[in-house]
């Protein structure tokens, strides 16, 4: 029988007119070693949402529950329809004023947030860990990245919109003319952030908008709103006040989002999340500008020259770490390893051993490498996908066990090309290892996917690195490492069904704005 492949480049899901907002605002958590637990009755702070820069406690709240132990982390205020309308109207009304705000005002507010995040790293890391289930070592790292995002944004705010001058007298008809090109906002941004990086991906929406003088309404994920709401607290305490309406942070439930997506006063949508929802959004508003970061199934390629024991140990350790960090809930986590046949047999046992060495358990423990997934439902989905692959003939080398919301770090080989695990983003701590006969076959295996976010290539060969850069249909190629590296100032985004547009502070600012040319006439140049 011919091989069945997942990648159909001319096909894309055809969502109906309704947007498939599927992630629930609340979920039933579990604790390792116990059955499902309903949240305990506890006293917890109610966190205000931010309406046009001011804190508001809504009439309704929803509980934020730890996926690790079922405890109540906090409650988030929920805006009414009237309050959402007030936020949209304020953002729309302040567009011109905010765009004209002096650069030093915007930069000072961003600098303040960066500084305060750094000062409160441990506290904020524990908040991320509590609401998300992320181990503390990774939660602290997320805070550090958000510190950098706001610092980069402050720097870009000071550089932004200086303009580019161009002589037009290179043609006879342009004598005495000079073109000055500057960037201006496309309009209010609706930023929609996911649960897996509840602080830093909110930062990647709101910091570039403030830097460019673009009003933004930010919707954090319902499962993890508290880290995003904390950004509002830090912005509000900055001495350099931004115009009222420049930013709002609204924990709106997913079922209320279609109306916001359709609102003509919000012409720019920046979404990070699932492919299904992202394309449904874009298809529902064809005249809006959409930036979509939709994930992938990241591949790490190990070429024949990466062959010493030291090389293979490094590759195995990096692969094991970054197939399981964040519980595998990262769009650039390692999901596939494609190893040259000449190194496959020596690499595979190293990968299995390194995966088995990952410490699983309480995310609040500094020794923990892998915590729970965001919910028990998420872990059950991963469990079902692995079971499907094994039933279809894949070999399970380690892992494959679920305990509540936790799923054991897992390695498989011989995964058939047509099972869900091969075709979709697993978003869990699961790794599939396969053999390739040479560089060309390895690169073809990477490309045999509907996704194309990032890929890693372990090689010392500079020519092979450039061949990979040319051949791999992805938004980023990382040489000598896994695909999971992201610098927050670089352009970040995907090809194929991994999305459209780019994040990274400067690149998001470009995405939120457009070029406007002014031609000066009658000059002596």
The Cα–Cα gap between 68 and 134 comes to 9
Long-range contacts of 169-175 (CB under 8 A, 24+ apart): 169/525
The Cα–Cα gap between 424 and 275 comes to 10
What is the reported pLDDT for 43?
64
**Distance in angstroms between the alpha carbons of the first and the last residue of the chain:** 71
Going from the first residue of the chain to its last (525 residues), give the mean pLDDT of each consecutive group of 10, the final group possibly shorter: 38 40 34 36 79 90 95 96 97 98 97 98 98 97 98 97 94 95 98 98 98 98 97 94 96 94 98 95 96 96 98 98 97 98 98 98 97 97 98 98 98 97 97 98 98 98 98 98 96 96 96 97 94
Q: Name residue, tokens 């399970």.
A: 396
What is the reported pLDDT for 216?
98
Nearest alpha carbon to residue 428 among 130, 133, 70? 133
Nearest alpha carbon to residue 436 among 337, 334, 296? 337
Tokens of 293: 């970061």
pTM (two decimals): 0.91
Is residue 238 within 8 A of residue 181, CB to CB? The reply is: no
β-sheet bridge partners, residue 418 = none
- Which residues carry out catalysis? 293, 331
């Amino acid at each position: 029988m011919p091989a069945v492949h997942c990648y159909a480049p001319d096909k894309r899901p055809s969502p109906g007119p309704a947007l498939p907002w599927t992630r629930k605002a609340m979920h039933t958590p579990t604790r390792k070693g116990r059955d499902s637990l309903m949240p305990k009755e506890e006293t917890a702070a109610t966190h205000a949402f931010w309406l046009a820069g001011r804190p508001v406690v809504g009439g309704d709240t929803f509980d934020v529950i730890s996926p690790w132990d079922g405890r109540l982390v906090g409650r988030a205020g929920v805006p009414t329809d009237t309050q959402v309308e007030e936020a949209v109207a304020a953002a729309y009304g302040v567009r011109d004023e905010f765009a004209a705000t002096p650069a030093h005002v915007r930069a000072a507010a961003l600098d303040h947030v960066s500084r305060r995040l750094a000062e409160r790293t441990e506290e904020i890391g524990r908040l991320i860990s509590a609401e998300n289930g992320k181990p503390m070592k990774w939660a602290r790292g997320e805070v550090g990245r958000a510190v950098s995002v706001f610092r980069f944004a402050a720097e870009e705010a000071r550089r932004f919109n200086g303009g580019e001058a161009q002589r037009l007298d290179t043609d006879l008809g342009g004598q005495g003319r000079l073109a000055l090109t500057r960037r201006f906002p496309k309009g209010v941004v609706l930023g929609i952030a996911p649960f897996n990086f509840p602080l830093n991906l909110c930062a990647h929406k709101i910091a570039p908008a403030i830097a460019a003088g673009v009003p933004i309404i930010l919707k954090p994920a319902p499962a993890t709103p508290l880290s995003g709401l904390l950004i509002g607290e830090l912005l509000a305490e900055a001495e350099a006040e931004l115009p009222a309406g420049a930013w709002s942070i609204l924990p709106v439930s997913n079922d209320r989002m279609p109306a916001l997506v359709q609102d003509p006063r919000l012409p720019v949508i920046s979404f990070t999340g699932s492919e299904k929802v992202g394309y449904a959004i874009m298809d529902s508003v064809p005249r809006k500008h959409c930036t979509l970061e939709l994930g992938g199934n990241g591949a790490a390629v190990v070429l024949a020259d990466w062959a010493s024991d030291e090389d293979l140990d490094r590759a195995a350790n990096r692969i094991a770490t970054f197939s399981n960090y964040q519980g595998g809930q990262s769009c650039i986590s390692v999901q596939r390893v494609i190893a040259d046949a000449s190194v496959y047999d020596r690499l595979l046992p190293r990968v299995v051993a390194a995966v088995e060495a990952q410490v699983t358990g309480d995310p609040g423990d500094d020794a923990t490498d892998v915590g729970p997934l965001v919910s028990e439902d998420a872990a059950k989905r991963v469990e079902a996908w692995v079971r499907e692959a094994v039933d279809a003939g894949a070999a399970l080398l380690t892992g494959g066990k679920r305990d509540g919301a936790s799923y054991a770090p897992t390695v498989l080989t011989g995964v058939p090309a047509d099972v869900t695990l091969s075709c979709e983003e697993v978003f869990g701590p699961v790794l599939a290892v396969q053999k390739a006969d040479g560089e060309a076959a390895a690169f073809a295996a990477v490309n045999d996917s509907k996704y194309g976010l990032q890929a890693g290539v372990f090689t010392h060969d500079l020519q092979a690195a450039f061949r990979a850069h040319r051949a791999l249909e992805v938004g980023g190629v990382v040489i000598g490492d896994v695909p999971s590296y992201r610098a927050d100032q670089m352009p970040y985004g995907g090809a194929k069904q991994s999305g459209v547009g780019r994040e990274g502070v400067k690149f998001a600012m470009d995405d939120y704005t457009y070029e406007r040319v002014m031609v000066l006439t009658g000059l002596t140049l």
